[in-house]
Amino acid sequence: MFIDIPSELEAALIGLPLPTWELDGSAPATSTLERYRSELTAAPRFEETAAALRHALTGEGGGYAVLRLGNLAKALGGADEETFLRVATGFAAEVAIPFSPFPRWPLWKQIGVKIDKDPGKSSGIGYNAFHMDVVNGTLPPDYTTLLCVRRDPLGGGPSILSDAHAAVSRLSEDARALLAEKAYHYGTFFDLHGVGEEYTLFPILDGSAPGEGFVRFTAKMLERSRLGREHADAAGKLAEELVRGQVTFMLEPGDYLIVNQRRFLHGREALHSGQATIPVADRRLLLQLFLRAPISAGPAA
C-alpha cells in the first residue's frame, strides 16, 4: 500500500510545466485536468505508477495507498507549495475527480492543530476515532485524501485505518441486521455542495452486497448522538472490530494518503502532549482533498 516514485519519474516531474488549475465550480476545469494528464502521461513510468495506485485502492484486498512524494516535495519547495500541489492533484485525478465540498475553502483544505479545538476533531489534539468523511451526506466523497506537510514534531498523531467490510464480517448476523436499519444520525449539514442532501437518519450498512458500498460510520455517534440501546450496542461492537483490525503508520512530509471510503475508514491517534509549547507555524499540518468517482450512486435519502 506504500508506493515509491521511480527515480526517473521523479526527475521528470520536477520540471514538468503544469499550469495553475482553473476551477469549474468546486472542481478543476476539464481543460485543466486534460492538460495535467497530457503532461503527466508523457513522463517515464507515470502510467505504471498510476496503475499501481489505482490497484492499491480498488484491487482485491486494497482500499488505501500512500504515495511517497517526499523527494518531490523537497525539490519543488515543500508540500504546501502550489507547484508541488499541481503534481499531487495530477496523481489524484488518475484515481477520480478532485473536488471541494466546502465553498468557503480552496480545493485543498488545511488541517492544522488548534489546542482549543474539540480534541476529537481533525484539527484537535486528541484521538480522532474511526470515521468516514461527510457521513451524513447522501453522496459522500468516494475518496478522502490527506497530504502531509509537517508531522507532529513531538512524535504523535500516527494515522489509523481499518477495513470496514472486514470488521462488519466479524459481527453477528443480529448486529449486522441492526446496522442495516435507518436508525443512525450524526453531525450537522451546513454550507456543503457536491455531496447530495442531508441524510438525517441513515443505515450504517447501505444494503449493498457484502463487501460493497459505504459502511456509513463515525465512532463519534456513540457519544454524541442519541441512539437506541440495541443500535448503539451494534455500532459499539463495530467500533471494537475496527480497532481490532486497524493498521497504524506515521505520515512523513510529502506522503500522500488516499483512502477509498467504500472500503476503509480512517482516523488518527492523539498528538503528543505538549502541543501548546510548539509555535503554530511548526505544528502538524495536513492538506485534505476529496475525490468523486465519475459514476457514483448513493442511497435514497
| CB contact set of 60 (below 8 Å; sequence gap of 6+) | none
Provide the percentage of residues in the chain whose pLDDT is more than 90. 88
The total number of residues written for the chain in this structure: 301
CATH class of 2-292: alpha beta
Question: pLDDT tens digits, residue range 102-124?
Answer: 988 889 999 999 999 999 999 99
Give 252's DSSP letter. Answer: P
Extract the C-alpha cell encoding 31: 481543460
| CB contact set of 227 (below 8 Å; sequence gap of 6+) | 183, 184, 221, 235
Question: pLDDT tens digits, residue range 151-191?
Answer: 999 999 999 999 999 999 999 999 999 999 999 999 889 88
pTM of the model: 0.95
Q: In the chain, where are the structural domains located? A: 2-292
Q: Which backbone phi and psi does 202 adopt, to 5 degrees?
A: -135, 155
In this structure, the strands spanning 285-292 and 97-99 are: antiparallel
Greatest pairwise CA separation for the chain in angstroms: 58
Secondary structure, 3-state, 166-180: HHHHCCCHHHHHHHC
Cα 142 to Cα 200: distance, rounded to the nearest angstrom = 19
Extract the C-alpha cell encoding 128: 480522532
Tell me the HSE value of 172 on the side-chain side, using a 13 A CA sphere.
Answer: 8
Cα 73 to Cα 147: distance, rounded to the nearest angstrom = 11
Question: pLDDT tens digits, residue range 261-280?
Answer: 999 999 999 999 999 999 99
Q: Where do we find the cell 521528470?
A: 12
DSSP string, 260-284: ETTTEEEEEPPPPS-GGGS-GGGS-
